[in-house]
Amino acid sequence: MYVICKWNFCMCFIQGKGSSNRMLVLGKEENMITVKWLHKLLCEKFVELGKKNYKDNDIFHIGLDTYLRRYLMGCADGLDVKFRTEAAEEKKADEILSSKITALVVRNNAAIEEFVASKYKVGKGAKMQTKYDSCYRQGHNDGKNASINKAVGDSKVNQANKVKMLN
């Protein structure tokens, strides 16, 4: 969720502790709709791919839950690489537009941070530990190679099926 928010002019926070925590997504309404749609779509597709990879590769040294956690962490990092690469290519293509988008992101983040500071007590999150093994590398590759296109008026199942891997 963090990666998707970061690249779609939103911010996300975890509120609460333990089993009572929840994720908050903050930003403009149209950006939050995009973030929620992408998150749902990508979660469905990556979990499906992760389960298929687990089964196809006969991985028995770790459980499915552990495999999926590592795989999905790799997917998130791979998506971040994909979005960063696309942003760099767009920046090269249009320097003037890129500076305007950067200014928009800075202003949007400042507005969100101001709102959060006025409404919530924000602490530092715990550092996540990642094990960079074959599970993570497969997820990283799948995340980096995901092609995301939304067809207007398509059902959610059809939209999820249209996420393609560019291998």
| DSSP per-residue string spanning 27-39 | E-HHHHHHHHHHH
Q: What is the residue type of 114?
A: E
Q: Note the pLDDT of residue 22.
A: 86
How many percent of the chain have pLDDT more than 70? 72
- Count of structural domains within the chain: 1
Mean predicted confidence (pLDDT) in 124-128? 62
Q: Pick the more confident residue, 47 or 22.
A: 47
Q: Domain range for residue 114?
A: 2-165
The amino acid occupying position 159 is Q
Report how far apart, in Å, the C-alpha atoms of 140 and of each of 60, 82, 117, 151 are.
21, 10, 33, 25
**C-beta of residue 95 within 8 angstroms of C-beta of residue 10:** no
What rounded mean pLDDT belongs to the chain?
79
pLDDT in tens, 53-85: 998 887 778 899 999 999 999 999 999 999 999
Q: What average pLDDT does the segment 17-23 reach? A: 82
- What confidence score (pLDDT) does residue 161 get? 56
Distance CA 15, CA 122 (A): 9
pLDDT at 152: 45
pLDDT greater than 70 at residue 149: no
